Amino acid sequence: MMTEKQKIRLGIIGIGNMGSEHCRTILAGKCPETELTAVADLRPERRAWARETLPDNVQVFDSGSELIRSHACEAVLVSVPHFQHEEISIEALEQGLDVLCEKPAAVRASQADRMIRTAERTGRTLTFMFNQRTNCTYRALKALLQDGRLGKIKRVNWIITDWYRTQRYYDSGSWRATWAGEGGGVLLNQCPHQLDLLIWLCGMPSALMAKCREGKWHHIEVEDDVTVFLDFPGGATGVFVASTGDLPGTNRLEIDCERGKAVCEGGQVLIRELEESEREICFSSDDPWYRGESREYPLEIDGENPQHAGVINAFAAHLLRGEPLIASAEDGLRALELSNAIHLSGWTGETVTLPVSRERFDRELNQKIAGSHLKTTGDITYDTSHSGTGERLSGSDHTS
Amino acid sequence: MMTEKQKIRLGIIGIGNMGSEHCRTILAGKCPETELTAVADLRPERRAWARETLPDNVQVFDSGSELIRSHACEAVLVSVPHFQHEEISIEALEQGLDVLCEKPAAVRASQADRMIRTAERTGRTLTFMFNQRTNCTYRALKALLQDGRLGKIKRVNWIITDWYRTQRYYDSGSWRATWAGEGGGVLLNQCPHQLDLLIWLCGMPSALMAKCREGKWHHIEVEDDVTVFLDFPGGATGVFVASTGDLPGTNRLEIDCERGKAVCEGGQVLIRELEESEREICFSSDDPWYRGESREYPLEIDGENPQHAGVINAFAAHLLRGEPLIASAEDGLRALELSNAIHLSGWTGETVTLPVSRERFDRELNQKIAGSHLKTTGDITYDTSHSGTGERLSGSDHTS
């Protein structure tokens, strides 16, 4: 009998903003079952940073491909620009490595489809960095909605505009906020967590209509202001508003259910719970203007907010002992598919039903890319060590 | 020289829910410059109520027309179902009476056009019961936006779902919540105040796209759930959500401006004010993720909330001394036009630009009316003495 394996050996591909933060997280001892054994980056200055900063036993590679083929690790964390998620993840899976990939899963749902098919065929694990699922506030809300106390969801309203960005942010990379370089704006860079949480909490919408306003607040070609109407299969409806141009912004999620409502804002969830279902009150009450009583209370929250470390630890525990992941490969696809559907509706002005047509989306995005202009500014890597602490509900969206 | 006139002699046409409440308001001494001299109602039971309840010097008429031609008053308050606003208001204006008409101005903008043209031709006063403009909270917000401290408006989000109605409400009148009898649902009956306030605070939208869901929460043929995307001429955008099916509901108005934001909820307005304009910060700050400082404070509110009495008193003061009205005739038209545009977009699925085509709206509504079914339930008049106190921001929407 072999001794039980203690740690997974992890390589991080891409050590820009988010990848270097993941290095720091692991080296700070927050991931006791993960050993950082390798990093890779195409940029010499990032490799120089790695050699200077990381322990000597961490191997530094010139490319993801070299890292993948090095046998320096058995799992990789993919933290490169969105467009490269597919190629690098698939190469890693094909080489027998397990993959934790940054959000969004990719740029196109068709790419995520291929990533999932490769994981299935190779029998390797594919998961995504949906660290906001580890946030105590959203975990408590998820448990509340699952226990059935509030009944079926009727309406959701999420105003998520508290990720303000200045023009400097967009000028920090030539690829940033371009169709060719990033494939989208606020939807692909800031929204993936919220789109995932929306699906996790409320289910997958069946149709939507969106307004995506491109370069509304910044000199960029992609959308920085998005408003979406959502229809869910059970009849619930929703509104989702996101922007990088509001200061101070808002992060307020309201979920109205048959037996009450939950309002999540400022790290608190306030519940107003009815004694009976509104659907019964509506057809049984003699009072035309029934108001009745509702019990108002703050939802109990455990305060634990492991964020990226939580996702990495669950990934390690899954590989070592088969414990559950924070999110499945399909969860990554669903969040991206919702994002693609919003883009498609915004571009065409049409109501889009889900599942979204991969062909239609790819064709429309290709047209956008054909007219895209990479910027001439240089690439800057910022210290994002303030992110991912969970102090702000919408923190940790500073990827790549 | 004549002695200065002390009071206007007012007749109230329609003494159902709201009209009887107006009688009580005046008789309670809240309108010192208004003398109630006449009432009219088509229904014998309401006239019986008037003879029993009102002082002997208030004449009771069988119809609006009789009241108008009786010389019992020089001004009328029109409080009849929406479809009759045009005919009765125009008859009163033609007979030389001044008119204060309940909201909405009418059902069709084309009707309000004719009412305004008649007022202009006859030189009489026409105004509408926009009593929520007297609400201390909205008055303070209006003053704040007008003084320019927060700069230009960028975004408005109004979730106004706190006017829950049970099926009993809709069953209380055969005309209620039918295309033929009322011409619409939550948009025409509950929303007129908020549509007026939205225009008053943020200006008239230039285009909109709406989802109007008919009979979503109740057994009715008209809409009881509405979501609207708004575009304003200056580039601001908005979302407006209204429903009579949410319990407990929400009334939260957020207005984001270039120098900060105002959030109005629960009778309070919370301000977060920036030291400089976000539009300047965006292009001058070196910080990609600028957060900066904002001064947070509750907006000072004077607590005065005269509601219907305030509108009636302003009407009297205008007729007696030329003082300003609470709302102009054109304000009534604008709120109705916005309502018509939302309906039209909801019915057709199209983006609607304003000014709305009267012909198109009338044609589409006529089709709805052609398929309309009046219900077989009887008419009930409720005691609405709890309304109009301003205790609830969305109170006093219990008209007719």
> Do B167 and A282 lie within an 8 Å CB cutoff?
yes
Closest Cα in chain A to B246: A256
- Which of B83, B78, B91, B74 lies closest to B15 in space, CA to CA? B78
Report residue B18 CA to chain centroid gap. Answer: 13
CB A171 within 8 A of CB A178: no
Confidence class of residue B395 from pLDDT cuts 50, 70 and 90?
very low
For chain B, positions 180-209, list CB contacts with chain A under 8 A. Answer: 209
Decide if pLDDT at B397 tops 50.
Answer: no
Confidence class of residue B378 from pLDDT cuts 50, 70 and 90?
low
Phi, psi of B246 (to 5 degrees): -100, 130
Decide if pLDDT at B265 tops 70.
Answer: yes
Looking at residue A373, its pLDDT comes to 81
State whether residue A290 sits within 8 Å of chain B by CB: yes
d(CA B126, CA B130): 13
For chain A, positions 332-351, list CB contacts with chain B under 8 A. Answer: 349, 351
Residue B349 has a CB neighbour count (10 Å cut-off) of: 12
d(CA A135, CA A301): 10
Looking at residue A104, its pLDDT comes to 97
Amino acid found at A306: P
CB B76 within 8 A of CB B115: no
- B274 contact residues in A (CB cutoff 8 A): 247-248
Looking at residue B145, its pLDDT comes to 97
Residue B378 has a CB neighbour count (10 Å cut-off) of: 9
State whether residue A302 sits within 8 Å of chain B by CB: no
- B212 contact residues in A (CB cutoff 8 A): none
d(CA B308, CA B316): 12
Burial class (CB in 10 A: 0-12, 13-18, 19+), A239: buried
Q: What does the pLDDT average to over B184-207? A: 97
H or E element at residue A318: helix A307-321
CB A241 within 8 A of CB A383: no
- Average pLDDT of the residues of chain B: 93
Of A165, A290, A398, nearest to B166 by CB-CB distance is A290
- A247 contact residues in B (CB cutoff 8 A): 274, 278, 281, 290-292, 294
- A351 contact residues in B (CB cutoff 8 A): 349
Closest Cα in chain A to B272: A248
**pLDDT (tens digit, 0 to 9) for every residue of chain A, 400 residues total?**
445 679 999 999 999 989 999 999 999 999 999 999 999 999 999 999 999 999 999 999 999 999 999 999 999 999 999 999 999 999 999 999 999 999 999 999 999 999 999 999 999 999 999 999 999 999 999 999 999 999 999 999 999 999 999 999 999 888 899 999 999 999 999 999 999 999 999 999 999 999 999 999 999 999 999 999 999 999 999 999 999 999 999 999 999 999 999 999 999 999 999 999 999 999 999 999 999 899 999 999 999 999 999 999 999 999 999 999 999 999 999 999 999 999 999 999 999 999 999 999 999 999 999 999 876 655 666 655 444 333 333 333 333 3
CB B294 within 8 A of CB B276: no
- B241 contact residues in A (CB cutoff 8 A): 155, 157, 239
Confidence class of residue B373 from pLDDT cuts 50, 70 and 90?
confident
